């Protein structure tokens, strides 16, 4: 795993981690500021959707931008733009202006993560790809989880809080200057790298990303409500999400190692089967702490691995601009699922019952499993390689 020791790899994951820290702080800070200004959850939801929409807008052209401008240049430009846009939120309390700034942030963050994920895949070799992507994903998750903690420290600086968030992003620039190479995205591969050509070669990867995005957002927003509906005390219910995230964070490298040694496809499908088998047990296990906490931990690990191994598969199947386009489709799937999933789950929980949350997540996991089995039978993996 020589890539792990390379300066380029370390600089890249550190810079993306800084962006994760800034993003993890900006989103809850925006919600807090809007709530303090008297706006309701509908406005907060619309601004969240605005950022997701900005990401979707850039998906069709992400590969073209990377090929023509250069990966490192696009990442540096994205960091500068998101820093400035975040700081500008301090200049006006107008939610419409904030919405436009969040659209801009969503677009440039989509570019940044798309190229960053493609770049990490290029730096990895097939023998160690699972572990390398696991390190990248774990590092980003840890820093993003620290973002809300940071909000508790900067929220009291009422006239400077968004400026401080903007400055956090700029910390990534000195780290990016350490990078010597640049991701390969040659223009001559452009005709074969269009997202329209890439999408039919990765249905399971799109479904896997969508599943985890839905799982992640539901775990943070609705899982505590599900637990409280089953009689769990509030202070314990909020820890359900922490148990899931703990499994996700701590088990990605071991699962990546397993994928490198047993085969990515086999482990990918195995994680999906594990999720499908364990999810229906949760309403029954929620009253038994000795069973519930290990179940949540394993669920978080398996669900997180579905996303991590989807990124690994992108690196196995695609190169050049096609890899950038594949990464942008992964980002688009994340944006759509993380926005629409909780809305659907929340509505069903209200109309059908709180266990509908399990049904929504289970349906998403089954959709990924069906797509993965279809890919295996139709030989999509071999055709794409």
Per residue in 156-176, pLDDT (tens digit) is 777 889 999 999 999 999 988
Mean of pLDDT values over 212-220: 83
Q: Which of 10-14, 141-145, 188-192, 255-259 is predicted least confidently?
A: 188-192
Number of H helices, E strands in the chain: 21, 0
Residue 5 reports pLDDT greater than 70: no
The per-residue pLDDT for 177 is 83
Shortest CA distance to 385 belongs to which of 315, 325, 320?
A: 315
Per-residue confidence band for 187, with pLDDT thresholds at 50, 70 and 90:
very low
| Burial (CB count <10 Å: 0-12, 13-18, 19+), residue 228 | middle
Of 73 and 49, more confident:
73
Helices 239-262, 203-221: axis angle to 10 degrees equals 160
CA trace torsion 61, 64, 70, 74 (10° rounding): -10
What does the pLDDT average to over 240-265? 88
Structure tokens at 162: 């968004």
Task: Reply yes or no on whether the pLDDT at 66 is more than 50.
Answer: yes
Which stretch of 83-87, 181-185, 229-233, 381-385 has the lowest confidence by average pLDDT? Answer: 381-385
Q: Return the higher-pLDDT residue of 233 and 298.
A: 298
pLDDT score of 381: 54
Judged against a pLDDT cut of 80, whether residue 234 lies above it is answered with no
The residue with greater pLDDT, 14 or 195, is 14
Length of the chain: 385
Rounded to two decimals, the pTM is 0.77
Residue 384 has pLDDT above 60, yes or no: no
Please state, for a pLDDT cut of 90, what percent of the chain lies above it: 29
163 with 42: CB under 8 angstroms?
no
User: In 3D, which of 329, 296, 297 has the Cα closest to residue 310?
Assistant: 329
Report d(CA 138, CA 252) in Å as an integer. 7
Contact between 175 and 15 (Cβ < 8 Å): yes
| pLDDT tens digits for range 293-324 | 999 999 999 999 999 999 888 888 888 778 88
- pLDDT (0 to 100) of residue 86: 95
The answer for 379, left when phi > 0, alpha when psi is -120 to 50, beta otherwise, is left
Cα–Cα distance list, 311 to 113, 118, 122, 175, 349 (Å)? 12, 9, 12, 23, 31
Return d(Cα 65, Cα 70) in angstroms, integer: 8
Q: Looking at 39-43, 184-188, 212-216, 328-332, which range is the least confident one?
A: 184-188
State the pLDDT confidence band at 101, using cuts at 50, 70 and 90.
very high
> What is the helix, strand, coil percentage profile of the chain, to 5?
85, 0, 15
Buried b (16+ CB within 10 A) or exposed e, 7-43: ebbbbbbbbbbbbbbbbbbbbbbbbbbbeeeebeeeb
For every residue of 159-182, DSSP letters joined together read: TTHHHHHHHHHHTHHHHHTT----
Decide: helix, strand or coil at residue 352: coil
Out of 38-42, 99-103, 264-268, 326-330, least confident range = 38-42
Domains and CATH numbers, the chain: 2-175 (1.20.1250.20), 195-378 (1.20.1250.20)
Closest CA to 204 of 359, 311, 130: 311
Residue 249's nearest CA partner among 140, 128, 113, 335 is 140
Task: Indicate if the pLDDT at residue 191 is higher than 50.
Answer: no
pLDDT of residue 1 exceeding 60: no
DSSP SS3 for 376: helix
Residue (of 26, 24, 21) closest to 47 by Cα position: 26
Indicate if the pLDDT at residue 385 is higher than 50.
Answer: no
CB count, 10 Å around CB of 56?
A: 18
| Mean pLDDT over each residue of the chain, to the nearest integer | 83
Give the whole-angstrom CA distance, residue 196 versus residue 181. 29
């Amino acid at each position: 795993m020589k890539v792990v020791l390379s300066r380029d790899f370390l600089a890249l994951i550190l810079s993306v981690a800084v962006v994760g820290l800034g993003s993890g702080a900006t989103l809850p800070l925006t919600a807090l500021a809007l709530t303090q200004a008297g706006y309701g959850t509908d406005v907060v939801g619309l601004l969240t959707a605005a950022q997701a929409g900005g990401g979707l807008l850039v998906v069709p052209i992400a590969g073209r931008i990377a090929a023509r401008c250069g990966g490192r240049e696009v990442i540096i430009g994205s960091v500068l733009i998101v820093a400035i846009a975040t700081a500008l939120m301090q200049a006006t309390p107008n939610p419409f202006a904030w919405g436009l700034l969040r659209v801009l942030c969503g677009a440039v963050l989509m570019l940044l993560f798309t190229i960053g994920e493609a770049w990490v895949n290029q730096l990895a070799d097939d023998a160690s790809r699972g572990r390398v992507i696991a390190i990248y994903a774990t590092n980003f998750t840890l820093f993003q989880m620290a973002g809300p903690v940071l909000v508790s420290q900067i929220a009291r600086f009422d006239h400077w809080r968004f400026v401080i968030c903007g400055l956090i992003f700029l910390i990534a620039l000195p780290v990016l200057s350490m990078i010597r190479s640049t991701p390969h995205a040659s223009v001559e591969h452009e005709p074969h790298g269009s997202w329209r050509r890439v999408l039919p070669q990765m249905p399971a990867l799109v479904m896997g990303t969508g599943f985890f995005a839905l799982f992640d957002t539901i775990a943070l927003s609705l899982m505590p409500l599900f637990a409280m509906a089953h009689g769990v005390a509030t202070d314990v219910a909020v820890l359900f999400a922490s148990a899931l995230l703990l499994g996700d964070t701590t088990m990605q490298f071991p699962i990546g190692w397993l994928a490198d040694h047993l085969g990515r496809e086999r482990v990918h499908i195995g994680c999906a089967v594990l999720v499908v088998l364990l999810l229906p047990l949760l309403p029954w296990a929620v009253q038994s702490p000795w069973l519930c906490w290990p179940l949540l931990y394993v669920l978080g690990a398996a669900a997180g691995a579905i996303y991590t191994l989807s990124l690994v598969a992108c690196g196995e199947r695609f190169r050049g601009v096609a890899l950038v386009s594949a990464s942008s489709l992964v980002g688009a799937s994340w944006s759509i699922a993380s926005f629409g999933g909780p809305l659907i789950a929340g509505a069903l929980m209200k109309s059908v019952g709180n266990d509908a949350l399990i049904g929504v997540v289970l349906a998403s996991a089954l959709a990924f499993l069906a797509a993965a089995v279809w890919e295996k039978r139709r030989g999509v993996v071999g055709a794409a390689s």
